[in-house]
C-alpha cells in the first residue's frame, strides 16, 4: 500500500517536475509563439501583411486602371498613327512599284527578259529599277542588250548578248526602265 502510494507520489512528482521542466520560460515562449497567445500575434501580423498585400495589389490595379483610362486618349492616336504609318509606305511605294504597262510587259515576255529581270527585284539580272539608276540613254540600253558589258554588274553572271531583239522593242523597254 505504502509502496503504491509512494510510487504514485513519485510518479506525480515526476510529472510535476516534467511540467515545470517543460514550462521553462523559453519553452513557454516558443509554445506560445506557435500555439498559445503568441499565435494570436502571429495571426494578427499575418492579417496585417495580407491586408497590406491586398492594398498594394489594389493600388497596382488602380494604377493599371488609371493608365488604361489615360490610354483611350492616346489609343485613337495610336491606330491613327499605325494607319498613317501603314498608309505612308503604301503611298510611298505606290509611285515606286508601278505595275508594268501591258505593252512593255508583252515585250519583256516576248524576249524572255522577265526570265532574268524584274522591275523592282533582283532575279538573275539586276532589277530594272537598279538599271534605271545608271541613267543610260535608250540607245545605250539598245547597245548593252545587243552587247552586254558584264563589268557593269560585278557579282552578276554575264548576260548573253541578245542581238536578235529589235532595236524598236528595246527602245520601248529602255524608256520604261528610265521611268522607274
Interface with ligand HEC by CB under 6 A: which range of 29-37, 66-74, 90-98, 118-126? 118-126
Q: Specify the residue, 100 or 131, whose C-beta has the smaller distance to ligand HEC.
A: 131
126 binds ligand HEC (CB under 6 A): yes
64 binds ligand HEC (CB under 6 A): no
DSSP-derived letter for residue 50 is H
Q: Residue 162, Cα to own-chain centre: how many angstroms?
A: 48
The CA-atom distances, in angstroms, between 53 and each of 42, 58, 61, 64 are: 16, 8, 12, 16
Angle at the Cα of 10 from the Cα atoms of 9 and 16, rounded to 5 degrees: 90
Q: Which of 28, 111, 122, 146 binds ligand HEC (CB under 6 A)?
A: 111
119 binds ligand HEC (CB under 6 A): no
Q: How far is the CB of 126 from ligand HEC (least distance, A)?
A: 6
Site for ligand HEC in 32-61 (CB under 6 A): none
100 binds ligand HEC (CB under 6 A): no
Interface with ligand HEC by CB under 6 A: which range of 4-12, 65-73, 84-92, 148-156? 148-156
**Contacts made by residues 92-98, CB under 8 angstroms, sequence distance 24+:** 96/120, 96/129, 98/180
**Contacts made by residues 98-103, CB under 8 angstroms, sequence distance 24+:** 98/180, 100/176, 101/176, 103/172
124 binds ligand HEC (CB under 6 A): yes
The alpha carbon torsion through 41, 47, 53, 55 (nearest 10 deg) reads -120
Set of cell numbers at residue 42 = 502571429
Binding residues vs ligand HEC (CB under 6 A): 111-113, 115-117, 124-126, 131, 134, 141, 144-145, 148-150, 152-153, 156-160, 162, 165, 170, 173
Feature table: binding site: 113, 117, 159
Q: Residues annotated in the binding site for heme c, as ranges?
A: 113, 117, 159
Amino acid at each position: 500500500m505504502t509502496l503504491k502510494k509512494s510510487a504514485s507520489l513519485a510518479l506525480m512528482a515526476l510529472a510535476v517536475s516534467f511540467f515545470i521542466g517543460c514550462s521553462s520560460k523559453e519553452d513557454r515562449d516558443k509554445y506560445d509563439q506557435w500555439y498559445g497567445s503568441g499565435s494570436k500575434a502571429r495571426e494578427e501580423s499575418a492579417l496585417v501583411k495580407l491586408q497590406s498585400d491586398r492594398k498594394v495589389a489594389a493600388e497596382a490595379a488602380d494604377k493599371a486602371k488609371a493608365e488604361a483610362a489615360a490610354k483611350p486618349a492616346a489609343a485613337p492616336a495610336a491606330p491613327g498613327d499605325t494607319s498613317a504609318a501603314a498608309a505612308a509606305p503604301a503611298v510611298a511605294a505606290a509611285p515606286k512599284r508601278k505595275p508594268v504597262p501591258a505593252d512593255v510587259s508583252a515585250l519583256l515576255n516576248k524576249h524572255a527578259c522577265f526570265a532574268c529581270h524584274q522591275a523592282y527585284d533582283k532575279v538573275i539580272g539586276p532589277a530594272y529599277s537598279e538599271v534605271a539608276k545608271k541613267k543610260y540613254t535608250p540607245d545605250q540600253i539598245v547597245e548593252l542588250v545587243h552587247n552586254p558589258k558584264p563589268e557593269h554588274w560585278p557579282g552578276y553572271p554575264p548576260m548573253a548578248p541578245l542581238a536578235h531583239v529589235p532595236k524598236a522593242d528595246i527602245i520601248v523597254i529602255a524608256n520604261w526602265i528610265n521611268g522607274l
